[in-house]
Chains A and B, each alone.
Chain A
């Protein structure tokens, strides 16, 4: 069992409250997943800038002087903002890959949680309320975000085993369920050049979508492909720089409920997660159909 939540804002006036709304949704799902929690939040992208969210088990040593060290390596001084065990490093977008490579050399214990123009990813073991407080998620703003509370079944309770998983620029995925063909699919994706950080089944789903989108599919098309290529139980909520998608396997035993108003589209494992949203009393609330892809895109809507 796990809990998943997602919130995609249509009304810009709600953007300063995204972190608050998403935090409340996540904490409500604590009893579905009390061992770890994570959140991916899509804040504003600054022109020409890229972001790396990184994590370290020893932030005091690993993050100390990291900005200066990267400055020496890249020839550009990055903005490093440390939040507990995580840090967000902002560099020019064209230096993102170079910065990632430099970190791997300079501070090999640092793990990259996610990269892109907009996404920031925070995840840790512990109760969702503590994870949310540790990173100050409530104060964050953004256009959309997804979150996960984990009750581990398939792999260890570790920071890297927590969701969301990010395997491509500005892409992330949260999963409730368990996949049965992930080992084989991981082998195939490795052959195609995808990199994996864990033995986790959900990371394979994320990497699958990244690989499909790299072939030119949009999020909706990639999710449709997942219905054919992924075997097992899943409710996925995924984010891209401007998009938000949901898909459930054909058996659909993992719970899901959605709500839509003029202001937002929201997802929760249970209706409980949605009750604090503004205007929920009059929202259109429905259970997403099995084997049916739902997705929204800020750029396509505009």
Chain B
């Protein structure tokens, strides 16, 4: 298993090695030690490789991930798993702002709390946060699921499109055009699947409330013209 010690080896060496993997390679498990808050650790993975990061990382860890499984045994700075395409990213600690931003697919699991703007402009990614999330989360979320076992901050789901939001705790406030919606059997089934994938065992899907778009902001409404 290749091990990269970022206190000794430049970050470029790690990311080049990850990008250079060809199909059928035996190097399918990487380990990164001493990440020391480095930016852009393990970005741009495009093969089904496993990366274990032993410590906390800075900006944009595992960004653009396409098929890899990245686990951070620590906390992550802003923009973790930004624009993920597929695969899995697990943060054992907390995540800073805009975790999973613009993600198109894959699963992001945050075992601690996520700060503001979690899942902003999400476009298909599934995000499961074991703790709580900050303000303006899922802003303009287009599709995918955001599941929060704790509480949500102000303006959840502002200007939401079709991302589905599930919060087990309290929501400080809902953003413009975001409303509570009934939890139907298909949502319970999806929640059960996501909780299972995220390793959550002691929580029932029925404990969540669902929030989604009221669909009033989709199109320009001539009746609002005077408000501009």
In the complex with contacts A271-B56, A290-B116, A290-B134, A255-B94 CB distance below 8 A? no
Instruction: Tell me whether B135 is interfacial, beta carbon within 8 Å.
Output: yes
Contact with A271, one of B58, B97, B134, B135 (Cβ below 8 angstroms): B58
CB-CB contacts below 8 Å: B43-88 with A: 56-59, 75, 77-78
Residue of A250, A253, A270, A271 with most partner-chain B CB within 10 A:
A271
Q: Mark B99-136, 1 if CB is under 8 A from A, else 0.
A: 00000000000000001100000000000000000110
Q: Mark A252-285, 1 if CB is under 8 A from B, else 0.
A: 1101010000000000001111110000000001
Q: Which residue of A lies closest to B114 (CB)?
A: A287
Q: Describe A's contact surface by its main secondary structure.
A: loop
Distance A267 CA – B77 CA, assembled complex (angstroms)? 14
In the complex with contacts A271-B37, A274-B37, A290-B134, A252-B77 CB distance below 8 A? no
In the complex with contacts A286-B94, A290-B135, A275-B36 CB distance below 8 A? yes
Name 15 extra pairs, CB < 8 A, besides A252-B97, A255-B78, A257-B96. A250-B135, A252-B115, A252-B135, A253-B116, A270-B58, A270-B59, A270-B77, A271-B56, A272-B36, A275-B37, A286-B94, A287-B96, A287-B115, A289-B134, A290-B116
Q: Which residue of A lies closest to B36 (CB)?
A: A275
> Smallest Cβ distance from B95 to chain A, in angstroms?
9
Could you name 7 residue pairs across A and B whose Cβ atoms are closer than 8 Å?
A255-B77, A257-B96, A271-B57, A271-B75, A271-B77, A275-B36, A287-B94
Q: Describe B's contact surface by its main secondary structure.
A: loop
Distance A285 CA – B93 CA, assembled complex (angstroms)? 10
Chain A's interface size range is 10 to 19
Q: Which residue of B lies closest to A271 (CB)?
A: B37
Residues of B within 8 A of A289 (CB): 134
> Smallest Cβ distance from B102 to chain A, in angstroms?
16
- Contact indicator B56/A285 (Cβ below 8 Å): yes
- Contact indicator B96/A272 (Cβ below 8 Å): no
Distance A122 CA – B36 CA, assembled complex (angstroms)? 28
Q: Which residue of B lies closest to A288 (CB)?
A: B115
- Contact indicator A272/B94 (Cβ below 8 Å): no
In the complex with contacts A270-B77, A271-B58, A290-B134, A255-B96 CB distance below 8 A? yes
Distance A286 CA – B93 CA, assembled complex (angstroms)? 10
